[in-house]
């Protein structure tokens, strides 16, 4: 699997709320800086809200580019996301940076940063 394939698998797992896939993809010390408020969440925190309070209805990545540095990869791109958070439905355009490290021929997702695009 390439870093780009791992990144797409991450987005697909978010939409499906597939906690089993996310458990495998995300490093135990994974950190995400969320696109809505700039808050920091751990792997456990993200898994706890998915499929409950937070549901991704769709995620459409574009303008994706991958840069590899040995056993590390940085993925940058743009997303159009539709999600529900509690009773609210939200549509967000964002730019993101995802960082992966290769362990035993698999890409492990270690860090994510999302920035909302205001047009």
Q: What does residue 49 show for φ and ψ, rounded to 5 degrees? A: -95, -20
Residue 38: exposure state from Cβ atoms within 10 A (0-12, 13-18, ≥19): exposed
Residue 69: exposure state from Cβ atoms within 10 A (0-12, 13-18, ≥19): exposed
- Total count of domains within the chain: 1
CATH of the domain at 57: 3.10.450.50
Distance CA 24, CA 20 (A): 7
Residue 36 sits in which domain range?
3-116
Average pLDDT across each block of 10 residues of the chain; the chain has 119 residues. List them in order: 95 96 97 88 93 91 97 97 91 96 94 91
Q: Does the pTM exceed 0.85?
A: yes
- Plot region of 10 (φ>0 → left; ψ -120 to 50 → alpha; else → beta): alpha
């Amino acid at each position: 699997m390439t870093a780009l394939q791992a990144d797409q698998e991450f987005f697909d797992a978010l939409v499906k709320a597939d906690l089993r896939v996310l458990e495998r993809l995300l490093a135990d010390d994974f950190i995400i800086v969320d696109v809505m408020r700039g808050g920091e969440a751990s792997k456990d925190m993200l898994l706890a809200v998915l499929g409950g309070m937070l549901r991704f209805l769709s995620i459409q990545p574009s303008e994706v580019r991958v840069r590899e540095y040995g056993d590390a990869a940085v993925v940058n791109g743009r997303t159009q996301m539709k999600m529900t958070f509690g009773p609210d439905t939200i549509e967000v355009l964002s730019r993101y940076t995802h960082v992966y490290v290769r362990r035993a021929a698999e890409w492990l997702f270690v860090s994510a940063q999302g920035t909302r695009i205001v047009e």
